[in-house]
Structure 1
Amino acid sequence: MQSYLTSGFLLLSLILQIGTQCDAAAFAPGDDLVETLQGVEMVDSDLSTRQNMRGTLSVIIVRALGLNGDGLMKTNSVARMWYSSFYYQTNEIKSDNPTWNAVYNLGIVETHLPLKIEVVDKDVGKDDLLISCAQYLTQGVHTFTCSGNGQVEVNYSLICEPGLTGSQCEVGK
């Protein structure tokens, strides 16, 4: 049997998630949640938007070409990727033309955010930024390149959640 503390925490979490006008103190342990919440007006007008624009995202950082980190020596190449709170970094390859083929399955994400990619030359002191870009994603399977001090190739797949369509997985019409 769950403790009252655990039940209260779960109830408070639910109330915060659905964004109701209810006073959490008005609930007592043992209250029927479904009965209590019937007829409660939703104040979070953004709830439908949060359920909108969602899809499953996979990213492959394929390779970089023509990097020139230190001039005379081969580049200690690393690619970095950010999407929302996700951060990934490839392994380091000592090459001006590294191939990573690093696959990152991010799962279900909000689709209105940019994917940020950087390629750096790893150094003992400070890394040298060679390439940096941000790309807004659209539904489907796509490849894009970013340029700077060389080029990086990235593939991604964005599949909309059921019932969502359009380039960024909007609510179906």
Structure 2
Amino acid sequence: MSDREMSDNEMSDNETSFGGTPIVDLGRALADLRPKLRPGRFVFVSVPSGSLNLLSSAEATVAEDEGLTAVLSQEVADEAGLKYDYVGGWITLRVLSDLSLVGLTAAVAQRLTASDISCNVIAGRYHDHIVVPWDRREHAVAALMELADEARESAA
């Protein structure tokens, strides 16, 4: 049975739940970045023992040897009295990129590096997310839009 013949309840390994096929070509992925700044300020915190209720408010978590790191809205962290030293803006790369795509993270990081903007990358199943310093968030979006424009021009 081909992918097109599958029922709505069946998906090929390369198809997402919302019907798209992830992009595996770097040039196409860069051309389709479509960076979008999410509203809010985001912080990275260590989740203290006994505070697992915070996880329901987490935007992302990472289990590390030193403990659990959570990315929370600054408001949630402040309400919980958690310490943080970095406030960031969250950019979602709306390109539907395949998890095996080589070079997307490097290209994004290289472009932001050229603009003197640090980035913290979080990969989701469907999209990559970039957390950049709060005061550089608009510059980061502009730099990524420029990267996408250049990729589209190269493809034309």
TM-score (norm 2): 0.24
Normalising by structure 1, we get a TM-score of 0.23
Please identify which structure carries the higher strand content: 1
* Structure index of larger Rg: 1
